[in-house]
Structure 1
Amino acid sequence: MEIQTKTALVTGAGGLIGGGIIDHLLARGWRVAALDVAGLEALAAPAGGDLLRVEADVADEDAVARATREVGDWGGDLDLLVNNAGMAGAVSGPVEMLDRAGWDRRLAVNLTGPFLMAKHFAPALRAARGCIVNITSTRAHMSEPDCESYAASKGGLLALTHALAVSLGPELRVNAVAPGWIAAADADLSDADHAQHPAGRVGTPQDVAEAVAYLAEAGFLTGQEIVLDGGMTRKMIYVE
């Protein structure tokens, strides 16, 4: 029996986690459409790999609609949408100083963007009986000071995940991965940085990519979240 090559669309493709997800899927034989507002020139497919670069702002519905047509013209159904695009840097300053424009932009990219992507790509995903994976954050469950807009956007994305799973099922599955501390393999980290994690190390983009690939194949799993943080949300921390 002929094995059909699967197609994925990954947003936030120019970032650390997005690039790791794309590399992993390409290595597994997927066709990948990589979407971002910038940074796509650094992406490269392995020999024989199939990579489409799509420049778009996920918070702009007209841009998302154009991306839908561009990916559609590329050919084939869509098996996987990874909503990874998001504004990094969780700390936005004291809430008294948080300006409305900054709040609105963070919510637009981190939460409205995944909604728009799901809205416009649902028909292509439905045709393939595909799935959506939203990249949330452990900050949907826990906080540091001065992270209101980031935490709100990721908490909203977690709620959007189970709402979409119920609305779009059974044709589509929708799940989430909530990374904790993720760093590049060559990041300048101390032994203490790694040792504080029950897993013994800080996470890598490959860890996130493997979780995404698992969810893409987990046919009975929907509306769920994988917390990928090396055990930190389960660790009680007291300062003596």
Structure 2
Amino acid sequence: MNSNPAVQQVSKVVLITGGAKRVGAAITRELHRQGANIMLHYHTSASEALALQAELNAERPDSVVIQQGDLLETAGLPVLVEKTLQEFGRLDALINNASSYYPTELGSIRIEQWEDLMGSNLKAPLFLSQAAADALQASEGCIVNITDMHIERPKKNYIVYSAAKAGLVSLTKSLAQELAPRVRVNAVAPGPVLWPDDNQEFDEVYRQQVINQTLLKRTGEPSDIAKAVKFLIYDAPFVTGHVLAVDGGRHLSI
């Protein structure tokens, strides 16, 4: 490691789950532009993770490291923190972004669906935050959880997902209390930004209905979520326990 303080100076060291594609990749790129070094977790998106790592390391060598892991395997979560500390020597921000999302209709919900949706959206953020707590205390860092605008008005047939994301909001506020005053904990609640890749429910009629219910009369961009995360990490030193809606005002009209 270079001993020159000017060379060692890094804006932040960030661990992000599910950071290889979609909104996660937008967050990764935005924070990298701020000068952050990134530990990028992925589960099955190996090709996307490798491509994003190559892209960003071409801009700034050795600034992005990737780590595969199944977040449902709770015992392996501390490894993500340990790898980050081994690679970069510190941890300034944890972003719990990875998520499973699909409908679960009451009357046919299976325990496997419960474990998957609760595991990725609530259990993993809790235990990963617990594993990262000491490192974040040492750096006076922060946690940003990615929840959902439907936490106040659950979407029909998404009962388990909605319960998990509502739990993530409660977890955000609880962690803000538990980790104060040295660690800030906030959440971003996205609205219509990216449609799911493989869900036939979201046809053109449904999409137009969503846009009509959104005060700004359009969908957002992944960069909107990324900029909100950047704000909470870099520009909000007196904000904790807060859920920032980034939904074009849709939560006011549904």
- Please give the TM-score of this superposition, normalised by the length of structure 2: 0.85
Q: How many angstroms apart in 1 are the aligned matches of 2:172 and 2:66?
A: 26
Measured in 1, the distance between the counterparts of 2:239 and 2:152 equals: 21
Look up the equivalent residue of 2:227 and give its one-letter code.
E
Residue 225 of structure 2 aligns with an amino acid whose one-letter code is: V
Percent identity (aligned)? 30
Q: Secondary structure at the match of 2:173?
A: helix
Offset at residue 181 of structure 1 (A) = 1.1
* Deviation at residue 62 of structure 1 after TM alignment: 2.3
Show the counterpart of 1:53: 66
> How far apart are the structure 1 equivalents of 2:16 and 2:114?
24
CA distance in 2, matches of 1:189, 1:82: 32
Unaligned runs of 5+ residues in structure 2 are: 196-202
Aligned residue pairs, count = 231
Aligned residue identity for 1:215: L
Q: Does 1:223 align with 2:241?
A: yes
Cα distance in 1 between the residues matched to 2:10 and 2:84: 18
1:171 corresponds to = 182
Within the candidate set 38, 41, 54, 2:50 is matched to 41
1:110, distance to aligned residue in structure 2 (A): 0.7
Choose which of 29, 36, 40 in structure 1 pairs with 2:35. Answer: 29
Deviations 1:32-86 (A, max 9, x none): 1111212122313151151010111222222212222211110222111110011
Residues of 1 paired with 2:133 and 2:75: CA distance? 16
Secondary structure of 2:94's partner? strand
- Correspondence 1:103 to 2:120: no
Residue 171 of structure 2, aligned match among 160, 163, 168: 160
Q: Which residue type is aligned with residue 218 of structure 2?
A: R
Could you tell me whether the CA contact under 8 Å between 2:155 and 2:162 is conserved in 1? no
1:85 maps to 2:81: no
Match of 2:19 in 1: 13
**Preserved CA contact (<8 Å) 1:58 1:116:** no
Larger helix share, 1 or 2 = 2
How many Å apart are 1:196 and its aligned residue?
A: 4.0
What is the Cα deviation at residue 161 of structure 1?
0.2
Q: Structure 1 regions of 5+ residues with no counterpart?
A: none
Question: Which deviations, in whole Å up to 9, do the C-alpha atoms of 1:3-26 show, x marking residues without a partner?
Answer: 643111110112311111001111
RMSD (Å) for aligned C-alpha atoms: 2.0
What is residue 154 of structure 2 aligned with on the other side? 143
Q: Does 1:201 align with 2:218?
A: yes
Query: Is the Cα contact below 8 Å between 1:59 and 1:116 reproduced in 2?
Result: no
